[in-house]
Structure 1
Amino acid sequence: MANNTPLLDLPVEILLSIFPYLDANSFLALTSTCKSLHRPEFLHEATFWSSIVRTTFRVPNQPVVENDGQRWQKLYKRLLTQSRVMTWGDNQKACLGHSYTSPAAGFRIRGGPPHRGRPRAIRQKHISWPQKMDETESLGVISDLQCGGWSTSLLTSKGAIYTVGVLDGLQLNRPRAPAYQQPKMFPTPLRFPSGFVQPSERYDAATAIKQFSSGRGHVLGLSDSGRIWTWQNVDEAGLHVRFIHHETVEGERASGNGVVKKVVAGWNKSAALIEGSGIVLWEPLERENDESATEDAALVLESAAVPRTGYRESKANRQRTADEDELAETVGQVLNYIVLEHVVLFNTSLGKVFVSEIVWNQDEQRLGDPIELPLTTSTDLDEAFATDIQGSFRSFAVFTRSGAVLTGHQDRVMNYLQATGSQPESLFTRIPALQHKNVISVAFGDYHFHALHSKGYITSYGNEPQACGALGLGGHGDPEGRLRGIRYAGMGGDGRLVPHAYTEGRRVWFEEEKRQWIRFLTSGGTDPEEAAERLRMAIGSPDLACQGEVSEWIEQEGRDWEAKYGLQGEDEDGLGAYFALSVTAAGWHSGALVLANDELAQKISRACEVPDPKDAKSPDADDQPASATADGAGHSEQVSTPPSSSSPFTISPLLTTALDYARWFLGVGPYSAPTHSNNNAQSHPPTSAIHVDPAVATGARPPRRTPEPMDYGASPREGVKYAWAGDAFPRLRLSDGREMPGEVGFAEWRYGRPEWELGESF
């Protein structure tokens, strides 16, 4: 009888080839059998964990971190129960999936029946902090999300796509003409034609979507079988895309020519990478008025392929043709591609980036010959080797093997193609906050963009039109956004990040406590009167340098929230309370798929709170007038009852006035305004809370109220205060040598004041 070879005597390559056939439990059981297999190189084997995460949850591959096995293992554990969809920015056509019942800052969605017996909801127009999308819990594990021009779409681990908003905000809904497509306030599944299996019902390879892409006004999906589907209206079933000039093959084990590798829905074109054909473009498809609802496919009559993109490296040991040899040496195999408004960009296995111009009109439909874009004039080979390319509309980013991220714009590329004197070095911008900072992906909207870093945080850059909140940094014109580094200007209140924000970046916050903390600081801290001049310098004056440096100090304080409150040891897997798995943006809005550790988040929330013991009331407190006294004219005079001076939250008339002054010169309403009032910002300085106001006395206007600690982020509820309730507004020594005025000590930099690089911005 032949001798059996012990498992550990097998070559490592054979062991690694066995792992993909195991599920997660079997793999962990195998690696636990002995110390030799429990070593990190086996336990955190990157190919196994990245593959099982992507196949189990349909998570898109992330080339920058595909070899980080420990990261993929942690994601596998948390994706089962902790994925959460967060969205922010302009909520036009309900594209964020938020519903609200307060009419104070929103407007009513017209048309359409109430959702599940509910009254029609009120939605806010602008959301400046990330908010959880409604009704996603029942969808199961969310593996990917993408923003479209007027929509946000989700992909579940079952292969179903759900959408909020409308896919095409400019297209008429033909069956109910002339009405436009009706917004979907809650996630609505994209349907397949009758006769096909819906992914929410059961699995079918022809309809289970493994990869999808949202364009400006349509969605493309690629099924497990390799079939291309397209949607242009949530209310209509999708169409199976077929070509007259290009062959496609289906089958989960299909290989060779005709296999579809990836689909991309561009700004105004659809695209697919097809083996043997290359990158193929066509006009987005839509159902015509006279088409039957049972129509299940559409034939693309006009399409065009990007020249020289059909080469694929073959594992088969066969002789290559002369043309294949030439392409292998000059272009290489296409790894990823993007479709902008007027050009197609792609990177290849040779580390090169190419651009092809889209020529599409009534006379011709073609793609120009690819032209290589020089990435750098440096002799560093890693700096000149592209590993990925990402982008949409008119903006894009190139990732290099050295860890650099180069951002570019379509206009620069067009100038380079047209040889208008553009130099290679002017093609790209090197934003300091993105260089060698472990950036995984970059998502572009019309005027803003976000970067996802491998440690699970998101940074924001660019502008937000009409203070729409697209940056996700808070504010929508209020002081909170200014303290994060946003400058508001113009009739619409357009927001632009200060140049200082591009040195280290500005992170998107998911913690509610951070939002309360910054509200507290914008009110002037524990002593608004003492901090008034510093507050004016930081967010109420043209002093760009002061705003930039104070916002960076705020950024550093909020950067490591767990460590700040001594809870870094409570983070068992190192992913933190909120770990961003992906980020997306389009138009004026954004979204992120976030892994939320609710248990750790609650611990952090409790760590931010301290008891607020109240002393007994003053003996003569009951003798104080609680309401009105008569004046000489016989009118009633409103007098606020001062709280006990022993309370940590003593709100004297002087403090009330100081709080109102702080907000008045910033152009926003006072804290002491009645909560049910819709008063706009005052056009004159506020008066004392005990000032006799004839309009109040005659009942023409409600009385001004004394602000409560919960109004300005000092307390979450009665009997409890936040740990920062006694902190002063920061006083800094600025890099230009100035010292901010005040009586408190100078604040220290948690991570040191940066060396500002103010030359590069979006």
Structure 2
Amino acid sequence: MSGLQSTHGTKGYDCMPPDIVQATLPFLSPGDIRHLSHTNKYFHKLLNFDSSETLWHELYRKAFGTPYGNDEPFLNKNTGDFKTCSEAIVIQNYPTLSWQERYKIRAEKAMLYTWGCLKHSRLGFTAMSNPALSEENLNGIGGRIKFGVNTPTQVPWFSADYQQLDDKAIIQVSSGGFSFQLLTKSGKLFSTGSTFSGGHKGPGPIAGEHDYDPIRTAIRELENSFHSVQAGTAGQINTTGSFGATPSSFGPHRNLYEPLEQMEEKCAETVTGNQHVRRMFARNCFEIFTSSRVSFEVTQERLNSIKFIAVVSGRSHFLAMDEHRDLYSWDSPDSEFGVKLNFDGLSNRESNPIIKIGCGWDLNCAYIYKIGLVVWNNRRALKKEELSCTVNYKVIPNTADVIGAGKVVDFACFQGDCVIYITNNGEKLSRYYHGTVHDLDIPLEGKLSKLSSCFSSLVLFTDQFCYTLKVKDGEIESDSLTKLDLADPEEHIISVSSGDYHTMALTQKGNLYSWGLESQLCGCLGLGPPEKVIEQENLGTWEGLRNMRVPKPTKIKLKENYVCVAVCAGGWQTGALIIKK
């Protein structure tokens, strides 16, 4: 901006219409916007942090519009017409408030609720640890065996008096097969439960390979040092616990693993009062992974050095992007810490940044500017002292356009190497599978605008309706096309998310609808006790001894004056961000 000012002077800015400024805002950071507001009186009035509706609307979209994950399509329409799901809901529920007030409500009042299978404490709590649970909320057999939570239940989160608001504000929630991933406004990443992988391998190292583990090597060296024999003194043991040291005297030895335990203690960050929601870190945050010497040193500065801006989840893995558009992958049962990825042979990050990321059942996909959709199922294993690993990727042909009818608008990932996407043309689906692209002729009403997926279903949004399709082994089952209609004609679906066998829909009013199969009394539909749903309300049927099927979208009964602003489904569980109005 300084170069523009020196050439054209301040007067040139005064001639710049507000809609041009607004179109530029998505490309600026909050700091850049603040600096621009101080340029002159015109920009100060237009972008004043205390009063500007233009500014606060854009800040809301940047913070809560999940622009870098594929929950929303690319922002390819005029900003005055296009609304993210969260925007549409807060406009509907808070029509008289300013964008600054809506921002404050979304940041401070949106709480995480989960329901479904209790296994591995994937809901962010156990049947015994959450005081918000009642006996009626729990599905089970007898008094002690509990399988799942059948009603949206608030997850114990940071306490009301916790001062770090940006750590408390959840901007995105994503669900894999066995856990939830939570991204806060401060850029911290959390995961629920004891396992995100369920013991299954994701799109990590090639079969037979493993990332170099300096912690395991350090433990081995500690143990070898501990058992080393002092020169000339057979049978005596090194009791110092230091590498290669020879003790001068022998007596009761200290805890050999104390340095490692101290490191683990420093990085075992959980939500205050809730050990079932833990913070996730990348390998690059620890000196032991990045240095040629063995060091268990951990600093808070280094732990906070990576700020994430997006997270997406597959069945047994998840992918996160930081503020510099670098990607980190948690993709195998061994990857407790995220592995930084690189794409050898593609242009650098500065000229070709990663714009959007997505996960499928067992693959990842990223849209890279002027390169297109890049898909991968595995990567090279990390070697000693390597800070990043190479992805074994493929570029989907003819997806690099940044303008015009061929520009990619949205994409959805499935199983194997299947990716389905739509372009600005809005008239057809394109499917990439086994290295080739085919256009799919699906009879839809309206222009395609948005996609979402699970391993066995595709959700299609047009500018008129919402549809679902079944997908099996990369093949679309055209005869499964179903238009989603709700009983209330004033309700319009704006977001859909699917688990293994159940589906959730979110409407512009902030209401939740669910349908599908609730397996083994897991409670993932959130409709209440199955006996009540089937026998009293006649909304579902039994399939076997402990499976409930609800065939049509059915409204979940939230408490009065509660509104949902985001929903995700995965595996046998569901999560949502819900505001008490």
The TM-score with structure 1 as length reference comes to: 0.52
User: Is 1:94 equivalent to 2:121 in the alignment?
Assistant: yes
Structure 1 SS opposite 2:120 = helix
Residue of structure 1 equivalent to 2:531: 478
CA distance in 2, matches of 1:210, 1:123: 39
Which of 352, 366, 374 is residue 272 of structure 1 equivalent to?
366
**Is 2:430 the partner of 1:355?**
yes
Q: How does 1:221-370 map to 2 (within 5 A)?
A: 221-231=320-330, 232-233=332-333, 236-244=336-344, 246-250=345-349, 254-256=350-352, 259-285=353-379, 295-300=386-391, 302-313=392-403, 328=404, 332-342=406-416, 343-359=418-434, 367-370=435-438
2:302, 2:102 → 1: CA distance? 24
Counterpart in 1 of 2:457?
395
1:126 aligns with 2:151: no
Q: Among the aligned pairs, what percent are the same residue?
A: 21
Deviation track 1:446-498 (CA, whole Å, cap 9, x = no partner) reads 111111112111111212112321111111x3325644544342433211115
Distance, in Å, in 2 between the alignment partners of 1:100 and 1:53 is 36
* Pairing 1:410–2:484 present: no
TM-superposed deviation, 1:303: 2.1
Q: Is the 8 A contact 2:372 2:398 kept in 1?
A: yes
AA at the equivalent of 1:487: G
Cα separation, 2, equivalents of 1:123 and 1:161: 32
Structure-2 residue corresponding to 1:493? 546
The whole-number CA distance in structure 2 between the counterparts of 1:286 and 1:507 is 46
Post-superposition Cα deviations, 1:697-732, rounded to whole Å, max 9, x if no partner, equal: xxxxxxxxxxxxxxxxxxxxxxxxxxxxxxxxxxxx
Is the 2:139–2:521 Cα contact (8 Å) retained in structure 1?
A: no
Q: Is the 8 A contact 1:98 1:123 kept in 2?
A: no
Provide the secondary structure at the position in 2 that maps to 1:55.
Answer: helix
Unaligned runs of 5+ in 2: 1-8, 74-81, 92-98, 202-209, 220-267, 291-296
CA contact 1:450–1:583 (8 Å) conserved in 2: yes
Partners of 2:491 and 2:509 within 8 A in 1: no
Q: Does 1:65 align with 2:83?
A: yes
Query: 2:116·2:525 contact (CA, 8 Å) conserved in 1?
Result: yes
Secondary structure of 2:104 counterpart:
helix
The whole-number CA distance in structure 2 between the counterparts of 1:142 and 1:470 is: 22
Distance 1:398 1:148 in 2: 21
Describe the shift of the 1:587–1:400 C-alpha distance in structure 2 as closer, same or farther (beyond 3 A): same
Cα distance change on mapping 1:472 and 1:485 into 2, 3 Å = farther
The one-letter amino acid of 2:373's match is I
The 5-angstrom pairing of residues 535-684 of structure 1 reads 561=560, 577-597=561-581
Q: CA deviation digits over 1:535-587, x for unaligned, max 9? A: xxxxxxxxxxxxxxxxxxxxxxxxxx5xxxxxxxxxxxxxxx32211100011
8 Å CA contact retained: 1:238, 1:296? no
8 Å contact from structure 1 (residues 134, 186) kept in 2 = no
Query: How far, CA to CA, are the matches of 1:146 and 1:92 in structure 2?
Result: 18
Deviation of residue 230 (structure 1)? Answer: 0.2
- State the SS of the aligned residue for 1:52: helix
User: 1:57 offset after TM fit, Å?
Assistant: 5.2
Residue type at the aligned position of 1:578: Y
> Tell me, what secondary structure is at the counterpart of 1:211?
strand
Contact 2:455 2:500 (C-alpha < 8 Å) held by counterparts? yes
**Which has more radius of gyration?**
1
Relative contact order: is structure 1 or structure 2 higher (C-alpha 8 Å, sep ≥ 6)? 2
Q: In the alignment, does 2:192 pair up with 1:164?
A: yes
Residues 486, 495 of structure 1: 8 Å contact kept: no
Q: 1:55 aligns with which of 52, 58, 62?
A: 62
**Secondary structure in structure 1 of the residue aligned to 2:437:** coil
Deviations 1:263-321 (A, max 9, x none): 21210112111223321221245968xx65x6532112x322222112222xxxxxxxx
Q: 2 CA distance for matches of 1:151 and 1:387? A: 29
Letter in structure 2 aligned against 1:582: A
Query: In structure 2, how many angstroms separate the alpha carbons of the residues matched to 1:285 and 1:90?
Result: 31
Cα distance change, pair 227–200 in 1 and its aligned pair in 2 (3 A)? farther
Aligned residues: 450
Residue 748 (structure 1) aligns with: none
Matches of 2:60 and 2:185, distance apart in 1: 10
For the aligned residue pairs, the C-alpha RMSD in angstroms reads 4.4
Aligned-partner Cα distance in 1 for 2:309–2:105: 20
The CA distance in 2 between the partners of 1:484 and 1:451, in whole Å, is 20
User: Does 2:506 align with 1:506?
Assistant: no
Higher strand proportion (structure 1 or 2): 2
Shift of 1:408: 0.9
Q: What is the CA–CA distance in structure 2 between the aligned matches of 1:199 and 1:76, rounded to whole Å?
A: 35
Partner of 2:505: 451
Amino acid at match of 1:101: M
**Aligned CA distance change for structure 1 residues 237 and 480 (closer, same or farther; 3 Å):** same
Distance 1:492 1:427, change over 3 A: closer
2:420, 2:381 → 1: CA distance? 29
Distance 1:479 1:281 in 2: 45
Q: Alpha-carbon deviations, 1:49-87, whole Å to 9, x = none?
A: 443024345744845624968736554121232121000
**Matched letter for residue 110 of structure 2:** S
Q: Distance in 2 between matches of 1:260 and 1:18?
A: 19
Distance 2:540 2:442 in 1: 35
Q: 1:483 to 1:297 in 2, by over 3 A?
A: farther
SS of the counterpart of 2:111? strand
- Residues 213-253 of structure 1, C-alpha deviations (whole Å, 9 max, x = no match): 11101111111111111014587221111123x41533xxx
- What secondary structure, in the 3-state scheme, does the structure 2 residue paired with 1:451 have? strand
Shift of 1:17: 6.5
Shift in CA distance, 345/168, structure 1 to aligned 2, threshold 3 Å: same
Structure-2 residue corresponding to 1:79: 106
| Matched residue, 2:223 | none
Letter in 1 for 2:554: R
Which residue identity does 1:65 align to in structure 2?
Answer: K
Distance change >3 Å, CA 341–CA 6, structure 1 → 2:
closer
